[in-house]
Every structure is written in C-alpha cells, then in structure tokens.
Amino acid sequence: MQILDRHLVKAVVDLAVFLEFSSEDLLDADASIEAMEQLASELGRMSEENKRDFFEITLGLAPDYGEKKGFVSDLAQSLGLQG
C-alpha cells in the first residue's frame, strides 16, 4: 500500500522538470541547482517506505513525460532517495 499520494509526487516531479529543463533566460542556473538541492534535502528526510513509494510512483509517471521520461525515471536516484 502506498502512503504517498500520486498527485503530490507528480507536483514534485513537475517542479523538478521545470528546474532541470528551463532555459537560463527564464531561470538562473545557480538558483535552479540550489532549489534542486533543497528539494533533495527535504525529500531525503522521508521514511524509507515513502522513498520507495516516491520511486515507484515516479516510474509509473515517467511515460507521461515523453522525451523527459528518462529524467523522471532516474529522479529518485538523482535526488538521493534510492541507492
């Protein structure tokens, strides 16, 4: 049984995609990196069960992201939530 809500995980994924793929004209690269680091830090405080749920949900969401699906599939690992 998953504890994390799919919509909550999707909101986090959408934010991460925005931070990763926004042009430097739209978003300062240093600000983007800092925001991703803060996101990773907060999510890293989740329980192991929630981290597993996050990973499983992101895998399920990945196909919806087209050419960015690889980024979404790897997101949990990139954020340090999966070994």
Residues 10-64 pLDDT 10s:
999 999 999 999 999 999 999 999 999 999 999 999 999 999 999 999 999 999 9
pLDDT of residue 82: 82
User: Over 90: is that where the pLDDT of 3 sits?
Assistant: no
User: Over 70: is that where the pLDDT of 1 sits?
Assistant: no
Sequence-separated contacts (24+) of 13-17 with Cβ below 8 Å: 13/58, 13/61, 13/65, 13/72, 13/75, 15/39, 16/71, 16/75, 16/79, 17/65, 17/68, 17/71, 17/72
Tell me the domain boundaries of the chain: 6-78
